[in-house]
Amino acid sequence: MVDEPAEIFDDMYLGLRAGAAERKKRRGEPLSPEEQEVLGRWQRLSAWRKTLAVGAFAVGTFGLGFTLGGLVFGRWRRA
């Protein structure tokens, strides 16, 4: 249970790498053995862990954009 927070970041990173490998595969480019392994690991990941990883990435990205947007545009409104 202690390693659980680190696992979500590992799953998110795995998803990003698998997405890049899948894009290369769709283009017809050859995949390295590491990229093939990443795709296999992502495909073997359970559906709820995939959903959690993608959701965490989306929420984190939205939160970061919302925060930075508030800082940038908040200053412009005061000026």
Per-residue pLDDT tens for 9-54? 888 889 999 999 999 999 999 999 999 999 999 899 888 888 888 8
Instruction: Give the total number of structural domains in the chain.
Output: 1
Q: Name the residue type at position 60.
A: G
pLDDT exceeds cutoff 80 at 78: no
Q: Name the residue type at position 47.
A: A
Q: What pTM was computed for the model? A: 0.67
pLDDT of residue 4: 55
Q: SS3 breakdown of the chain: % helix, strand, coil, rounded to 5? A: 85, 0, 15
Domain membership of residue 58 as a residue range: 4-78
pLDDT exceeds cutoff 70 at 3: no
From CA 12, how far away is CA 16, in angstroms rounded? 6
